[in-house]
Structure 1
Amino acid sequence: MENTQKNTGKIGHWLKNSITARMFMIAFLILVLLIPLSYIQDLISERSKRKEGVVKEISEKWGGEVLFYGPVLKVPYKTFQEKTVTDQNTKKVYTEITESINYAYFFPENLAIDTRIDPEEKYYGIYKTSVFESKMDISGVFTKPDFSEQEISDEHILWDKAKIIIRTSNLKGVNNKLQINFNENHYNFESKYSVKAGHGNSYTPLHTVESSVLLKEDLPLKSGTDFHLSLHIKGSQQISFVPVGKETTAKISSHWKTANFFGEFLPYNENKIHKDGFDARWKVLDINRPFSQQHFNQLPDLNEFAFGVNFMIPVDEYQKSDRSAKYGFLVISLTFLIFFLIQTMSKIGIHPFQYLMIGLALTMFYTLLLSISEHSNFFRAYLVAGSSVVALITVYSHSILKTRKFSAFIFLSLTVLYSFIYVIIQLENYALLVGSIGLFLILATVMFISRKVDWGHS
């Protein structure tokens, strides 16, 4: 019994005074604190998905992203297929000719798109997304279709059934009468069917609308035929166009100041962004894209060659909160290292429970940051959450260490640490460089301070 008490006393003395024991204890606490930190990251992910769901709901009610593909001249033609048939009774062999109808699709010679967009932020509770109303003026010229590629004779072309088709991802948002004008004649569009179009794992549903049959006088049989159509459409997040013209020119203007141009082709004008918004211009020639001006049997999926503009919300609080939480392990480890060095050099006792309380205060920073950022901007949320946690740990450490010198050092260290993490979060291209330099300086500082520690009593 007496030997057991002595052994227990030795173990307790070792845990209290051994540097090695304290290091193992701190490492164990850091691993334990990774559990609530992982739950916080899951919470951030859950709130981010909730926002995505709300944004999707807003888009469905207002109108989704806009992708415009067309106009395209659709001309049916006859094809004939010979088939050898043997009569089972007479054993006579004869040739049977079957007739079928196929379609040819021809893109315009010139296509000019002039679009004015008025975006705004739409709120649903604490969440927001960008929606817009757009006015498109689309004009161009169709030239005589060339069927020589398929060796189709003129008498087999059904010019009297030629139509114009348009594809778009957002029929719901159209709020004007959709019609195309050839000379003095107007042709209304009707919705026909929907197809799934896209590439890779990303699919955009495209709806096809067809005009009524074109009159012979509006067909480009002898010379080019001009066309014009206007489209007023509501949408959300982004708008894009497929450059189907042999020469496609586009102009998109808006008062939105945080536009992001995307797609296979970018604007050519250098002064596209200005203080009042943007005025972007494109020019795409047929030689610039890997598809031809005419297609037989099937209209191809050309979504991947679209270009346009995204009306992005510039700040995503959830993304930044998630990036902050990923540095949680670093913040907890460095804070515990500071207390460990103070305890080792000053011989002041710090109980494992006190380390645990400090660690929990550090993890509370991320829940504060997440909840406040949902109602304010990220900088204010970070400032409030960081100031609260730094003040709490500073006051708590003063009650442990009983000296203003160490408390002031902890306050300064945590302030620098949180400021350093904030700078890294804001950076994109230089985050790795700045982070590496910062960690190197921290390591050098720890090495400099710890050189006076007597590790022989470990």
Structure 2
Amino acid sequence: METPENQNTTSFFQSNTAKMIMVGMLTLLLLIPLEFVKSLIFERSTRQEEVISEINDKWGESIYFYGPILKVPYITFDETLSINQKTNETVKQRKAITKYAYLFPEELKAKSNVTTKVLNRNNYESVVYSSKMNFEGHYIQPDFSNKNIPTENIQWNKATILIKTTNLKSIKDEVKINLGGNKFTFEPVFSTNTNDTTQALETGFIDLKTILKTDKTNFGFDITYNGSKQIKLVPIGKTTQLNMQSNWSSPSFTGNFLPDDKSKKIDRNGFVANWKILHINRAFSQQFFETLPDLSTYAFGVDFVIPVNQYQQNERAAKYGFLVIGLTFLIFFLIQSISKIRIHIFQYSMIGLALILFYTLLISITEHSSFMKAYLIAALAVITLISLYSVSILKGNKFPMLIAASLTGLYTFIYVIIQLENYALLVGSIGLFGILAAVMYSSRKIDWNK
């Protein structure tokens, strides 16, 4: 004969409270394999970054361009006083020191035609481009009067033209500049400054006294790069203009200046963008003496990257894993409470593992197809599996059809949130509010005291 104590014990484990506790603990337990899935996504994403870095290194890295700059040497004298030990007289010594003035153009116009393509290696892809760039503009007569440098100390015949840039190994043709009707060839210059991440191209000696004869001296040159990720320029002209056009339909304008909204055009065939930057828009002058500063903070340009890659989408999908598991278990629990059908904790476990399997299917199929197609296949497989399993659990077709419809709505809701960027939080909040309202309505007549 059962004792009252045994009756109470049995009734507790069969109560809704005990079932809720067990289902809740199982939900938390399933977070462990979900974390393993997230770790797998992170591992594959890291591998993709390594492959992209390797592809970009061989094809060409990002481009940073800073030039052309007139580099004019001048002589200054360092005077020191010393005492002659024999005569005890003070002797003045003058030591000549060569320094450099860096002169920026009065006007700089740049045109860049960028053709992008996607390179694939195994399951990974990287966006690369070929950029044909044309630069033209003019210099005005240099003025050293504000620095009190005598004219005779300026070495006009030893001037050079300098370009600071990156990605020298991916320049496809010889670079020559036409300055005042004279052509000069750039050569690479080795830099001893280990902190300088840029590389230099510099011409041989130029006699500026014979070239800068007029108040306005024109220049022009072309340069062709293979590159990836980004193109950035420093607006060193007193007036700097850049026109860039490309077949890339998802540009990300970056840096210190944005293109003109009125002339900017972006569609599925590519983009056209124009910048116009005046010297009053940036906080540096047209001349520098002694040292050439790092002006990368004033650079502007375009990023050529895939906006949201497949692993980012998989990672965002996995972040909603706890929500999917919790809501699916909640649906089964409500069906169990309403229909009085008993669902064993083992059956909950099988359903939970099927939900976890969705993410491994998603990432594996995505690597061989598009994210949308992979999501559709993975969701369809898991919904079918759980629905068929529900037929044997719930003893009929009515509730399994409800399960299938609920999972379809849930996975559709998650997919919409993943695709949205600006409205993801808004849509997600409204959707969760609707789900909560549906659960409250469905559970209003359940007697939770049993």
Is 2:45 aligned against 1:48?
A: yes
1:61 alignment partner in structure 2: 58
Confirm or deny: 8 A CA contact 2:75 2:153 kept in the other structure: yes
1:267 alignment partner in structure 2: 259
Confirm or deny: 8 A CA contact 1:183 1:218 kept in the other structure: no
- The code of the aligned residue for 1:122 comes to L
- The code of the aligned residue for 2:108 comes to L
CA deviation after TM superposition for structure 1 residue 214, in Å: 0.7
Question: Which of 168, 189, 192 is matched with 2:189 structurally?
Answer: 192
- The code of the aligned residue for 1:365 comes to F
Is 2:240 aligned against 1:248?
A: yes
Counterpart secondary structure, 1:367: helix
- The one-character-per-residue Cα deviations of 1:309-365 (angstroms, maximum 9, x if unpaired) are 222324411111101100111111111111111112222111111111111110111
Question: Which of 113, 118, 122 is matched with 2:110 structurally?
Answer: 113
Alignment CA distance shift 1:254-1:196 (3 Å): farther
Q: Which runs of 5+ in 2 are unaligned?
A: none
- The one-character-per-residue Cα deviations of 1:80-133 (angstroms, maximum 9, x if unpaired) are 222232445655433333321111111000111122222111111121111111
CA deviation after TM superposition for structure 1 residue 283, in Å: 1.1
- Higher deviation after alignment, 271-280 or 401-410: 271-280
Alpha-carbon distance in 2 for matches of 1:89, 1:392: 105
CA deviation after TM superposition for structure 1 residue 184, in Å: 3.4
CA deviation after TM superposition for structure 1 residue 286, in Å: 0.7
Alignment CA distance shift 1:61-1:245 (3 Å): same
TM-score by length of 2: 0.94
Alpha-carbon distance in 2 for matches of 1:93, 1:221: 45
2:223 alignment partner in structure 1: 231
Confirm or deny: 8 A CA contact 2:66 2:165 kept in the other structure: yes
- The one-character-per-residue Cα deviations of 1:125-176 (angstroms, maximum 9, x if unpaired) are 1211111112111111111222223221111111121100001111011111
Is 2:26 aligned against 1:34?
A: no
CA deviation after TM superposition for structure 1 residue 416, in Å: 0.8
- The one-character-per-residue Cα deviations of 1:170-221 (angstroms, maximum 9, x if unpaired) are 1011111111112332211111134889xxxxx9931111111113455436
Is 2:410 aligned against 1:412?
A: no
Question: Which of 359, 363, 373 is matched with 2:356 structurally?
Answer: 363
Report sequence identity in percent.
49
TM-score by length of 1: 0.92
Is 2:203 aligned against 1:211?
A: yes
- The code of the aligned residue for 2:12 comes to W
Root mean square deviation, CA, Å: 2.2
Counterpart secondary structure, 1:186: strand
1:297 alignment partner in structure 2: 290
Alpha-carbon distance in 2 for matches of 1:417, 1:172: 51
1:428 alignment partner in structure 2: 421
Q: Which runs of 5+ in 1 are unaligned?
A: 198-202
- Higher deviation after alignment, 81-90 or 24-33: 81-90
Aligned residues: 449
Counterpart secondary structure, 1:76: strand
Alpha-carbon distance in 1 for matches of 2:210, 2:92: 40
Confirm or deny: 8 A CA contact 1:195 1:206 kept in the other structure: no
1:200 alignment partner in structure 2: none
Counterpart secondary structure, 1:455: coil
Confirm or deny: 8 A CA contact 2:180 2:212 kept in the other structure: no
- The code of the aligned residue for 1:267 comes to P
Alignment CA distance shift 1:59-1:196 (3 Å): farther
Alpha-carbon distance in 2 for matches of 1:87, 1:155: 31
